Each structure stands twice: as structure tokens, then as C-alpha cells.
Amino acid sequence: MHLHKVNIGGLETPNNVFLAPLAGYTNAVFRDMCYRLGAGLTFTEMVSAKGLCYGSAGTKELLTELPEYGGIRACQLFGSEPEYLERAAKSEEIAPFELIDINMGCPVPKIFKNGEGSALLADIKLAERIVKAVKSSGKRVSVKFRTGISEGNLVTEEFARAMEGAGADMITIHGRTREKVYSGEVNYAEIERAKKAVKIPVIANGGVFSPEDAANLMERTGADGVMLARGAMYNPFLFAEITGTPAGDKRAHIERQLDLTYKYYGDRFATVYMRKMIGFYIKGSSGAAQMRLKLLSCNSREEIEGVLSQIKL
């Protein structure tokens, strides 16, 4: 695929291959890992604007950044009430971030029933108010959304125009409807229509698990870049493959991730998280099933390190 910088309201990314916000996965350590492997932009997990306004410690923790992180600092907020999103965008916790993405695509039932995430696709006027409210913070703003709630009500082009009109500096389109969740074909034509309808950068998301997938998504949509979600979660080294970034020693990257995850997130979280992530990384390799079973039985850092030492990477 054609690699180039993306200008987001004056912010220039090193390339156009981005990491999607992934709840439960894109913590500060994983984002740093992906950046080092070539990701041009990474986002925090989705952060509740209301939770931030109410001072939730768990919500604030999602905004952790490594001091050594060298990329653009971007967070993702979600909510349905413009006043809370505005307060969150102007908060002390968001101050270090240069770009705020607004989640208008999450398909999870709990989020949808609250009128948040992909539910906003059914209320374009409210979505516009939210973008304007966040934009009043003076931050650059992007919006991530889907093609519609259902195949019978695709709103991609109209929604893209509305987001640009409200002040968004970039949009990312997941080429599936809310009802498809993460399965089914990506609707390339819908993303292409939105790309032709606006002047701001359009990033295509959905179905990228190889460099060929990334090139195909770019070619068929005309998008300015691609965003990796599950493909990166399963294989962060995919960023290096797509961008040509020298990956170096895989084991060294994983050991660094293990070390920093324990350092910043504590034993309990790190043990559950890292045994799952390493299980993802070895998928498809010789003896992977047996190693995953060993990982799942690990209850400490030392046990995970012991299993990792037995894995061929």
C-alpha cells in the first residue's frame, strides 16, 4: 500500500497505518509497542466522558501514557450528552492529549442501549452537537463510526458530511453496520462514497489481517489510510510488515511488554492480560495450542516467563 503522512488539523502523522481503540487491549504499553513497530497513530481505549467528569479512578487509568511514548497522544471518548463530552475534553486529564476521537461506532448492547456509540448513527443532529462541543476545547477532533445501524439504513456519506461540517478534522469508518458487529464483508463502496464526499482525511477500518488486506482496503476505498483493530491485537508485528519498519527481535518486544505491563498495571491485571496476549501472538505456530494451555494455567509473572522461554518466536 502507499504510505504517506496524514495531516489532522495541523498534526502530521509519520504514516497512514493506525491502531484502533480497543476496549480491554490498547493500554499504554501496547500502544507504545505498536508505535515502536511502525504504527503512525494510536488511541487509548474508549473512555467514558461522564466517568471522567465524575472522577472515576478506573476511567482515569485508561488515560495512562508511558513517559517515553514518542507518538501523537490521542484518546477516545464516548458518551451521548454534549455537555459531559465538552467538560471531559476540557479536563485536566485530557490536557496532555493532542487529538480526541469520538466513538460513534461501538456495537456493544450496553453502550448502544445508553444511546452511545453506534446509537448516534440514528441521531445525526445530536452527533453534530457532540462534535461541536468537543471541538470547543480547542483540540483536534476525529470521529470513528460505522456505515449504519443496519443494512437497510446506511448513512455513511450523510454522516461523514455532517461530521466534517461540525468541525471534525478526520473520520474513521468501520465498513460494517452495527448489526454485523465484527463479522461479514467490509462495505468498500460505502467508505469510498464517504471519501468522495468530504475533504478531511478518511481512514478505512475493517478486515486488515495482512499487508495484502491493507493494500486492498486502500485501493478499493480510496481512503487516506487504514486502521488496524483485531489484526493488530492478534499480531502487533503486522505494523512492521505493512510499514517496512525493522521489527528486530520479537521476543525482546514481548519481554518489554511483559515487564512494563507488570510495572504500570500490577500483578493481577498483567498476569491475565499477558497470558492472553502471548496466546494471540503465537496463534498458528507449531505447538501453539499446547503453549496456550500452559499460559492459561499461569498465575504469576515467573510462570509466564517460564512458558515464554519455551516458545519459538
Please give the positions annotated as active site.
106
Residue with cell 461506532: 105
Beta-bridged to residue 99, according to DSSP, are 74, 140
The label of the residue with cell 499504554 reads 28
* Alpha-carbon gap, residue 180 to 65, rounded angstroms: 32
Contact by Cβ (8 Å): 63, 113: no
CA distance 174 to 69: 27
- Residue 77: how many CB atoms within 10 A of its CB? 26
Quick check: 124 and 83 in contact, CB under 8 A?
A: no
How far apart, in Å, do the first and last CA atoms of the chain sit?
A: 26
Rounded Cα–Cα distance for residues 80 and 120 (Å): 8
- Cβ pair 213, 207 in contact under 8 A: yes
Distance CA 198, CA 26 (A): 29
Gap between the Cα atoms of 29 and 279, Å rounded:
17
